[in-house]
């Protein structure tokens, strides 16, 4: 069934679920149930979309039946579909974690609707083919994430949300200015249409400014150094089920944006943009690695490490060769899975501590009673560090290989040197929690959050490492579709 | 030739590891003693060993066995296993010694219930190590290479409670992990240059590889990796530190198998990379250095394991040096050396483990005269030690002979040759002295420490070392052990490429090597004789010269930088914003390439010009005023004035719809801002105000500059956009043409909002309702939590901040009376009563005719909400709630969204596309008055209105009454 | 001429907004947010393609103003409003939590 309606399902189903959740606001059990059911349903829809798109090419849904570029088009090309599936898989595990965790905030009637709104908005921003519609979705995402974080049990949640929200509002102001500049230059908002016209005539005076503004917007969304400041505070303070999503899939909006900008929207300026991305990526790789090594809190460490991982991905996008792009895609998927898993484990360990906090000082020796999360965390750490046979290795392999083929030796050397940092901070965290003896007065709570969700994710990582071929094939297909923008444009505008 | 079962050794040891893990289950663990379990587990590696023995004939015949398994076809990477002479030799060592070590550990961990963990790690390591030596392509090699690093990390850190163990494990992983990354890069370089990952292609592309300008890079990476793994100076420091591992692990990893992986790698890649000046230089220099350093430092040690570790370092140096020397005899020497060293060093480690286990110490200064109490152990030790000393008739002697023979090889340049010879003799002498030290000061002489009484270990514990010792004895004594000789020859050939003639006769007549070894022996004897003064002198010499200190320095420096970089996350939002804005400004300046408008615009003046100018000035002025007004309330008023000014500007654009919404939003936000003001304690705001301008002048200047830059940028953009008017828009003409015909609206903006871009609006109202939900949730849940805290605080420090305390009079007033706290006059109340229904009607009409005139669901919603706000003011929270029971936020929003989505879906059914437009009136055949259309658009407007109502109701409920009592 | 004035106005409001945004007094920085939003909305409105003489109604004839930016601005206004209110709510909770309205005192999460 290769029908355009597939494209809107992954957005619509969570919205419906959220609405039901609101109507059921007094019945928490029902709320949780319907939310899980709807999310699962939309995940199935997303997978269906991916398969169908992979087999038969891009799908476009013209909302309201208005022809592009006059209406709003939702574009399900391979890239978008891949990101959607990735996001919804992780979000599904996040919901599973939420169902099994002891946070008080998941009992609030707003939690599950907000979580579904987060899902819908993230999905929408991947699928939309209209720059203003992207803004609207991004806003929805920001508000959902902000409220979810502000409600965290951690008393600093509001502070984190406040910082994030201000910075995000700044980002949206930049985006609006970019939208204005582009409309003033080309008189259209449809990405495909813009791409076509911009490629035909990149001269209008407002275009460079728009390019910078969009870049910065996506850098803020993707927590790219030096636009990352919201991220460590935010991800460390959010409820575990949420922070796992934020640090893994939500930041991927930035990555998605850069993929689109370099291959679709700004083709004439792509080479320039790629150079920036490599530069920013390298900065991020070192900064993220160092800060992750230097910080005092497990969740913050993982948040900082996201900066570094995003850096690796940016370098891949910046190299821009087919192989490098598929490396970036593989790294993106791996990071989404593993970072979610690790943050869940961090939260689970914190939930075992007497005081619920992920500060290392608070977690020392907690692992003694918990070997299973220890094994998971060790495997996860190895994934992050790209140690075979975990799937992180596949990404590292691809990145190095593409770097060699692209003859980008200095950047490659930098990436290699920074790579060791990952191993260091992961190992240090593992030793602190599972090897160091606990201080005498420390006492642990019996049973913490459930470990099903992280276990699933780690298992997936192991599977994708041992049996990497499907992932690689998908990544290759994605990078091929990215490098063939005319197909996208044709699918949206026809003729 | 293909061999379908080549994976079997790996599989067996992996299964064994799994069994060991199973044995960890309490029920099993209770039933099975460590020794018995170890014997059982040892069967698996034994089976692997036997399997390899069965594969010996074809390998000796010179044909390699290959097993392939597709892994990542799209990168044409196949997992390949390859068994030739070289891998056979190593695989035999790994599996054979592995078997013995497993048995031994059973005794070593007698009565330790946690031993299963150790055995599990050990067998996992064995798997990876077998994989490493059996790998048939570089990717597989790398996979298992990293595996050995990780598993050895686990083994070194086995005694997790011990600080030293953790440090040692970390150090080892740090160094070997760094090597791993270099290895990956190097191997990928080779693969890319040679166009293939498996040895078959790789090893025959020497010409390509050594001729590229990248050759030094590749060689550097590979050599770096090999050196880190094989503990070459200065990377050797991890090996002594790794001695905190349980002795079986040390015996297995750090003498027999893993540390030789580097040598294996170099030997394996010799045909592809070797035989160049650079190769010779690098390997010889580092090998030589390491050989001497190890030998020298070994003599200095008091800890037996450290002594053995350093002598291992020395031996590894010798091997690397030999691989560099690139002569046939050198490769023979490498292979023989590996074999001999594995046999005697493995045995010695195990024996030291026994001594440690039975006496409780490994300190040379406390041990002594154990031959009395531990005769059997002594008997087993002596031949092993002699083999280490390189004395005939033991196998070690042969190793030393071949070593000397290869350094005195005529093919070497004379000068270097003599240098190498001297170094080799020196190292040999030192090793002999150490072996002597080991024997004499542990087993002979008299006991130095009365508290130490050794006693014999159980017989089983001696099995492993005894077998190893026996081997080095037998292999030495046997005249010409033919199969072994052929194996060594084949192995050497696999590495060297050409045939290597091997004879293992101990007595080869009076040759140069023989003379040299006599020199070495006598020199060693001399050193041994003077060992005590020499060792004291060593202690005195350069105590500051410690490479560990360098490592520590590097690590501390790294951590310092790391901590410093986290300082950038200072926690203050303003700093973040400023840094981001600065970065943005920089990017704009570098790449923004702002347009330089030539004209200043040519908009002709009209009769409205004066008004336009006035409003522009008004908006700006009021905004500017909001900076300087001291009272927050006035600042807010200024803001609202500026907002109204903006509205008028919009109206003059002309954009009446926007202006309308801007006005209502402005009013609404002022109301809410005032409410917020009312609930943020006054003196807090006063304190904050004091800070507004009290900061460094530089700070003000900086902010001013940032603001200025932003302003100028936007101004330029605006001007550039304005002077280009009128332009062609791609989309607008379509809207203008079709608003009436397709969307049934004469208000084009309304048509876009509700029809053409209706989806935007749907998400927009979601955002709005979410804002409402957020405010509600925050003020209900977060506040409740905070208030609990605040009460606690207040309880402690009484009334430091009265406005926060619940139940104060101010709060009470808010509850029973209007928000202002003053009871409004009856007139006001009546007004409110009347206005509500009136405004509702207005709102409905708004929506009905929204498509003809300005105004839409949003405005309608806000209008009603404003009245409700008025109610809050007039009646206060409780009464409003009582009088308007339908004001239930969640259901309102929920229903609204249901309406919107349902509408979209119904439209999808009727018009075939989600959010398509349907005229229900027509469809139902209702006769409706002119100008009023009952269409999907209308339903959507209704949904918008409800959402806004719900959202605003939530906001007001929350802000109007934060102190909920539930 | 008028174009220049418009541009300057919007630029000035944008600058004022940024300056207010960077104040330590949280109320002021909230005000700054509002001003900033207004400025950007105006900018968006000014990117309309036509020099409007009459409002964008089918019924009106003459040089209509560009309808699309108006629609976008409408959406942006509403969204900005929602965000603004959320900010206020957070400010209230922060005032309870940190006993301050000074942005620089809200720095518990760091390093």
Residue B188 confidence (pLDDT) above 80: yes
Q: How many CA atoms lie within 13 A of A118 on its CB side?
A: 30
Contacts of A225 in chain B (CB under 8 A): none
Closest CB from C1, C51, C85 relative to B771: C85
pLDDT in tens, B748-763: 998 898 889 989 999 9
User: Do the Cβ atoms of B625 and B638 come closer than 8 Å?
Assistant: yes
A484's CB contacts (< 8 A; 6+ apart) are: none
Interface of C with B in 65-94 (CB under 8 A): 65-68, 70-71, 73-75, 77-86, 88-93
The token duo for B234 is 């200065």
User: Do the Cβ atoms of B495 and B403 come closer than 8 Å?
Assistant: no
Contact A63 B895 (CB under 8 A): no
Q: Is C20 on the interface with A (CB under 8 A)?
A: no
Per-residue pLDDT, B803: 44
DSSP string, B323-379: HHH--HHHHHHHHHHHHHHHHHHHHHHHHHHHHHHHHS--BTTT---TTTT-HHHHH
Q: Is C4 on the interface with B (CB under 8 A)?
A: yes
Per-residue pLDDT, B824: 63
Dist CA A45 CA A1 (whole Å): 11
Residue B963 confidence (pLDDT) above 60: no
User: Do the Cβ atoms of A247 and A235 come closer than 8 Å?
Assistant: yes
Other residues' Cβ atoms within 10 Å of the Cβ of residue B195: 11
Closest CB from A166, A169, A180 relative to C44: A180
Contact B732 C66 (CB under 8 A): yes
Residue A140 confidence (pLDDT) above 70: yes
B269's CB contacts (< 8 A; 6+ apart) are: B190, B202, B203, B222
Distances (CA, A) of B610 to B298, B606, B614, B616, B642: 95, 8, 6, 10, 18
SS3 B926: coil
Residue B806 confidence (pLDDT) above 50: no
Dist CA B168 CA B177 (whole Å): 14
Dist CA A221 CA B151 (whole Å): 38
User: Do the Cβ atoms of A214 and A257 come closer than 8 Å?
Assistant: yes
Bridge partners for A73 per DSSP: A62
Q: Which of A134-148, B79-93, B624-638, C6-20 has the lowest mean pLDDT?
A: B624-638
Per-residue pLDDT, B928: 64
Per-residue pLDDT, B809: 42
The span from the first CA to the last CA of chain A, in angstroms, equals 23
What's the average model confidence in pLDDT over B123-141?
A: 96
Residue B888 confidence (pLDDT) above 60: yes
Residue B568 confidence (pLDDT) above 70: yes
Contact A388 B143 (CB under 8 A): yes
Confidence of residue B817 (pLDDT cuts 50, 70, 90): very low
Dist CA A213 CA B606 (whole Å): 35
Dist CA B861 CA B131 (whole Å): 71
Q: Is C22 on the interface with A (CB under 8 A)?
A: no
User: Do the Cβ atoms of B138 and B53 come closer than 8 Å?
Assistant: no
Task: Give B593 to chain C, closest Cα distance, Å.
Answer: 18
B82's CB contacts (< 8 A; 6+ apart) are: B64, B65, B66, B67, B134, B135, B136, B137, B198, B199
* Whether the predicted model's global pTM rises above the 0.80 cut: yes
Contact B680 C49 (CB under 8 A): no
Interface of B with A in 198-217 (CB under 8 A): 217
B822's CB contacts (< 8 A; 6+ apart) are: none
The token duo for B165 is 């163990």
Name the one residue in this structure whose structure tokens are 């097993």: B67
Q: Which of A270-284, A420-434, B560-574, B583-597 has the lowest mean pLDDT?
A: B583-597
Contact A405 B192 (CB under 8 A): yes
Bridge partners for B109 per DSSP: none
Distances (CA, A) of B50 to B54, B99, B290, C104: 6, 11, 36, 72
Dist CA B359 CA B455 (whole Å): 7
Q: Which of A31-40, B414-423, B914-923 has the lowest mean pLDDT?
A: B914-923
Distances (CA, A) of B10 to B136, B144, B830: 14, 11, 89
A to C CB pairs, distance under 8 Å:
85
Q: Is B758 on the interface with C (CB under 8 A)?
A: no
Task: Give B779 to chain C, closest Cα distance, Å.
Answer: 7
B799's CB contacts (< 8 A; 6+ apart) are: B805
Dist CA A336 CA A251 (whole Å): 9
pLDDT in tens, B48-92: 999 999 999 999 988 889 999 999 998 889 999 999 999 999 999
Closest CB from A151, A166, A184 relative to B777: A151
Per-residue pLDDT, B446: 83
Contacts of C67 in chain B (CB under 8 A): 732, 735-736, 748-749, 751-752
Closest CB from B782, B858, B955 relative to C85: B955
- Determine the angle formed by the axes of helices B459-477 and B395-407, rounding to 10 degrees: 50
- The beta strand positions in B36-161, using DSSP E, are 65-72, 77-83
| b/e code B786-815 from CB counts within 10 Å (16+ = b) | bbeebeeebeeeeeeeeebbeeeeebebbe
Contact C43 B718 (CB under 8 A): yes
Other residues' Cβ atoms within 10 Å of the Cβ of residue A102: 17
> Could you give the angle at the alpha carbon of A230 between the alpha carbons of A333 and A450, nearest 5°?
55
Per-residue pLDDT, B814: 43
Task: Give B576 to chain A, closest Cα distance, Å.
Answer: 6
**What's the mean per-residue pLDDT of chain A?**
94
Contact A420 B139 (CB under 8 A): no
Contact A158 C79 (CB under 8 A): no
pLDDT in tens, B683-701: 777 776 676 666 667 888 9
Q: Is B570 on the interface with A (CB under 8 A)?
A: no
Q: How far is CA A282 from the centre of its chain?
A: 19
Contacts of C98 in chain B (CB under 8 A): none
Provide φ and ψ at A359, rounded to 5°: -65, 135
**Closest C-alpha among B329, B323, B297, B322 to residue B312:** B297
Confidence of residue B455 (pLDDT cuts 50, 70, 90): confident
Q: Is C106 on the interface with B (CB under 8 A)?
A: yes
pLDDT in tens, B322-352: 999 878 999 999 999 999 999 999 999 999 9
C70's CB contacts (< 8 A; 6+ apart) are: B653, B655, B657, B658, B749, B752, C45, C48, C56
Distances (CA, A) of A101 to A94, A349, B152: 10, 12, 35
Q: Is B655 on the interface with C (CB under 8 A)?
A: yes
Contact A23 B895 (CB under 8 A): yes
Task: Give B569 to chain A, closest Cα distance, Å.
Answer: 7
The token duo for B209 is 């590889």
pLDDT in tens, A330-362: 999 999 999 999 999 999 999 988 888 899 999
């Amino acid at each position: 069934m290769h029908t355009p309606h597939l494209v809107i399902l992954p957005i619509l189903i969570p919205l419906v679920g959220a609405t039901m959740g609101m109507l059921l606001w007094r019945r928490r059990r029902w709320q949780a149930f319907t939310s899980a059911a709807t999310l699962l349903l939309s995940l199935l829809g997303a997978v269906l979309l991916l398969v169908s798109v992979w087999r038969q090419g891009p799908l476009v849904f013209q909302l309201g039946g208005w022809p592009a570029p006059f209406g709003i088009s939702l574009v399900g090309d391979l890239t978008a579909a891949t990101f959607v599936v990735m996001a919804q898989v992780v979000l599904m595990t996040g919901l599973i974690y939420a169902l099994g965790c002891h946070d008080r905030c998941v009992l609030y009637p707003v939690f599950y609707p907000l979580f579904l709104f987060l899902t819908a908005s993230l999905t929408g921003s991947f699928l939309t083919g209209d720059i203003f519609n992207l803004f609207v979705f991004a806003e929805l995402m920001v508000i959902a994430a902000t409220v979810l974080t502000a409600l965290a049990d951690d008393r600093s949640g509001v502070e984190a949300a406040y910082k994030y929200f201000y910075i995000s509002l700044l980002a949206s102001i930049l985006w609006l200015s970019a939208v204005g500049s582009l409309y003033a230059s080309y008189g259209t908002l449809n990405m495909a249409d813009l791409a076509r016209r911009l490629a035909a005539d990149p001269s209008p005076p407002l275009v460079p400014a728009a390019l910078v503004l969009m870049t910065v917007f996506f850098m803020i969304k993707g927590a790219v150094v030096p636009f990352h400041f919201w991220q460590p505070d935010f991800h460390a303070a959010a409820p575990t089920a949420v922070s796992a999503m934020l640090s893994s899939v939500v930041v991927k909006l930035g990555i998605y944006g850069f993929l689109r900008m370099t291959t679709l929207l700004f083709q004439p300026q792509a080479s320039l943009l790629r150079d920036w991305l490599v530069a920013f990526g390298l900065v991020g790789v070192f900064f993220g690695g160092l800060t992750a090594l230097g910080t005092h809190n497990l969740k913050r460490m993982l948040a900082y490490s996201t900066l570094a991982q995003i850096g690796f991905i940016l370098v891949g996008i910046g190299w821009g060769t087919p192989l490098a792009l598929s490396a970036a895609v593989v790294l993106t998927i791996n990071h989404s899975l593993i970072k979610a898993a690790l943050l869940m484990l961090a939260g689970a360990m914190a939930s075992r501590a007497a005081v619920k906090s992920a500060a290392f000082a608070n977690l020392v020796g907690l692992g003694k009673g918990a070997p299973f999360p220890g094994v998971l965390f060790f495997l996860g750490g190895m994934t992050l560090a790209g140690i075979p046979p975990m799937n992180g290795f596949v990404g590292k392999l691809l990145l190095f290989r593409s770097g060699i083929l692209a003859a980008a030796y200095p950047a490659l050397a930098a990436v290699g040197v920074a790579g060791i940092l990952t191993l260091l901070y992961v190992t240090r965290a593992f030793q602190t929690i599972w090897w160091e003896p606990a201080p005498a007065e420390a006492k642990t709570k019996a049973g913490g959050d459930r470990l099903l969700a992280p276990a699933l994710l780690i298992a997936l990582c192991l599977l994708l490492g041992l049996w990497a071929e499907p992932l690689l094939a998908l990544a290759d297909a994605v990078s091929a579709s990215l490098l063939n923008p005319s197909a996208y444009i044709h699918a949206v505008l026809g003729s | 030739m293909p061999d379908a079962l080549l994976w079997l050794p790996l599989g067996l040891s992996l299964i064994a590891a799994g069994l060991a893990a199973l044995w960890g289950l309490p029920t099993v663990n209770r039933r099975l003693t460590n020794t018995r379990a170890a014997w059982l587990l040892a069967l698996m590696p034994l089976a692997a060993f036997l399997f390899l023995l069965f594969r010996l004939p074809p390998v000796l015949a010179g044909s390699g066995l290959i097993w392939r398994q597709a892994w990542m076809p799209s990168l044409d990477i196949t997992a390949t296993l390859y068994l030739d002479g070289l891998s056979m030799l190593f695989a035999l060592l790994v599996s054979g010694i592995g078997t013995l070590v497993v048995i031994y550990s059973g005794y070593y961990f007698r009565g330790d219930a946690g031993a299963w963990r150790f055995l599990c790690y050990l067998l996992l390591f064995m798997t990876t190590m077998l994989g490493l030596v059996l790998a048939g392509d570089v990717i597989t090699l790398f996979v298992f290479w990293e595996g050995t690093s990780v598993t050895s990390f686990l083994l070194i850190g086995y005694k997790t409670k011990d600080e030293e163990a953790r440090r040692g494990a970390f150090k080892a992983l740090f160094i070997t992990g760094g090597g791993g990354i270099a290895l990956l890069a190097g191997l990928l370089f080779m693969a890319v240059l040679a166009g293939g990952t498996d040895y078959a292609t790789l090893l025959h592309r020497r010409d390509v590889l050594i001729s590229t300008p990248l050759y030094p890079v590749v060689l550097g990476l590979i050599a770096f990796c090999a050196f880190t793994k094989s503990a070459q100076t200065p990377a050797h420091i991890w090996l002594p530190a790794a001695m905190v591992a349980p002795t079986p692990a040390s015996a297995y990893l750090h003498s027999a198998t893993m540390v030789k992986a580097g040598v294996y790698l170099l030997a394996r890649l010799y045909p592809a990379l070797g035989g160049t000046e650079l190769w010779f230089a690098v390997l010889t220099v580092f090998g030589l250095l390491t050989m001497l350093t190890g030998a020298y430092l070994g003599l200095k040690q008091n800890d037996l394991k450290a002594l053995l570790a350093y002598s291992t370092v020395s031996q590894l140096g010798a091997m690397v040096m030999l691989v560099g020397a690139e002569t046939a005899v050198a490769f023979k020497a490498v292979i023989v050396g590996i074999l001999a060293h594995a046999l005697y060093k493995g045995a010695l480690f195990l024996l030291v483990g026994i001594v440690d286990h039975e006496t409780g110490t490994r300190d040379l200064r406390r041990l002594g005269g154990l031959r009395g109490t531990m005769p059997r152990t002594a008997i087993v030790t002596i031949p092993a030690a002699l083999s280490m000393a390189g004395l005939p008739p033991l196998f070690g002697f042969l190793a030393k002979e071949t070593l000397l023979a290869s350094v005195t090889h005529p093919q070497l340049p004379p000068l270097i040759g003599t240098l190498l010879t001297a170094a080799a003799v020196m190292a040999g002498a030192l090793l002999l002295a150490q072996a002597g030290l080991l024997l004499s000061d542990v087993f002979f002489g008299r006991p130095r420490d009365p508290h130490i009484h050794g006693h014999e270990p159980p017989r089983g514990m001696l099995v492993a070392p005894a077998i190893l010792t026996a081997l080095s004895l037998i292999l030495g004594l046997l005249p010409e052990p033919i199969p072994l000789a052929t194996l060594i020859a084949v192995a050497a050939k696999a590495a060297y490429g050409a045939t290597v003639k091997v004879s293992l006769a101990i007595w080869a007549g009076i040759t140069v090597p023989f003379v040299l070894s006599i020199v070495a022996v006598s020199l060693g004897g001399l050193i041994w004789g003077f060992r005590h003064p020499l060792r004291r002198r060593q202690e005195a010499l350069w105590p500051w010269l410690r490479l560990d200190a360098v490592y520590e320095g590097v690590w501390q420096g790294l951590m310092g930088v790391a901590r410093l970089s986290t300082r950038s996350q200072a926690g203050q939002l303003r700093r973040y914003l400023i840094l981001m804005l600065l970065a943005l400004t920089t990017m704009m300046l570098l790449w923004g390439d702002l347009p330089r408008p030539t004209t200043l615009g040519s908009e002709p003046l009209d009769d409205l010009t004066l008004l336009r100018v006035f409003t522009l000035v008004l908006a700006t002025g009021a905004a500017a005023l909001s900076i300087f007004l001291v009272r927050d309330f006035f600042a807010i008023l200024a803001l609202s004035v500026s907002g109204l000014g903006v509205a008028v500007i919009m109206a003059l654009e002309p954009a009446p719809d926007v202006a309308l919404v801007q006005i209502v939003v402005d009013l609404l936000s002022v109301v809410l801002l005032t409410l917020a003001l009312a609930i943020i304690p006054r003196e807090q705001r006063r304190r904050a105000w004091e800070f507004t301008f009290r900061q460094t002048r530089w700070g003000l200047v900086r902010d001013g500059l940032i603001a200025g830059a932003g302003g100028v940028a936007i101004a330029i953009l605006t001007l550039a956009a304005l002077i280009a008017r009128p332009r062609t828009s791609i989309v607008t003409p379509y809207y203008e043409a079709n608003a009436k015909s397709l969307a049934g609206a004469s208000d084009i903006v309304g048509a876009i909002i509700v029809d053409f871009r209706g989806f935007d609006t749907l998400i927009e109202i979601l955002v709005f309702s979410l804002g409402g939900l957020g405010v509600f949730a925050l003020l209900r849940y977060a506040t409740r939590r905070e208030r609990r805290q605040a009460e606690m605080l207040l309880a402690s420090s009484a009334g430091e901040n009265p406005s926060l305390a619940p139940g104060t009079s101010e709060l009470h007033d808010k509850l029973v009376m209007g928000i202002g706290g003053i009871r409004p006059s009856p007139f006001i109340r009546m007004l409110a009563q009347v206005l509500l229904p009136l405004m509702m009607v207005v709102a409905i009409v708004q929506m009905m005719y929204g498509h003809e005139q300005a105004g839409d669901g949003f405005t309608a919603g806000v209008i009603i909400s404003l009245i409700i706000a008025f109610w809050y003011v007039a009646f206060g929270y409780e009464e409003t709630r009582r009088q308007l029971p339908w004001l239930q936020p969640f259901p309102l929003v929920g229903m609204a969204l249901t309406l919107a989505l349902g509408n979209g879906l119904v439209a999808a059914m009727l018009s075939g596309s989600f959010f398509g437009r349907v005229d229900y009136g027509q469809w139902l055949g209702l006769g409706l008055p002119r100008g009023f259309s009952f269409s999907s658009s209308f339903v959507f407007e209704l949904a918008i209105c409800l959402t806004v109502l719900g959202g605003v109701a939530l906001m007001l409920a929350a802000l109007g009454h934060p102190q909920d009592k539930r | 001429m008028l174009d220049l004035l418009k541009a300057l106005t919007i630029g000035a409001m944008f600058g004022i907004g940024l300056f207010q945004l960077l104040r330590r007094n949280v109320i002021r920085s909230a005000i700054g947010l509002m001003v900033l939003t207004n400025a950007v909305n105006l900018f968006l409105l000014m990117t309309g393609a036509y020099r409007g003489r009459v409002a964008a109604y089918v019924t009106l004839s003459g040089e209509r103003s560009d309808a699309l930016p108006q629609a976008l601005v409408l959406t942006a206004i509403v969204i900005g409003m929602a965000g603004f209110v959320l900010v206020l709510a957070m400010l209230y909770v922060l005032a309870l939590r940190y006993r301050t309205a000074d942005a620089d005192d809200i720095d518990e999460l760091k390093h």
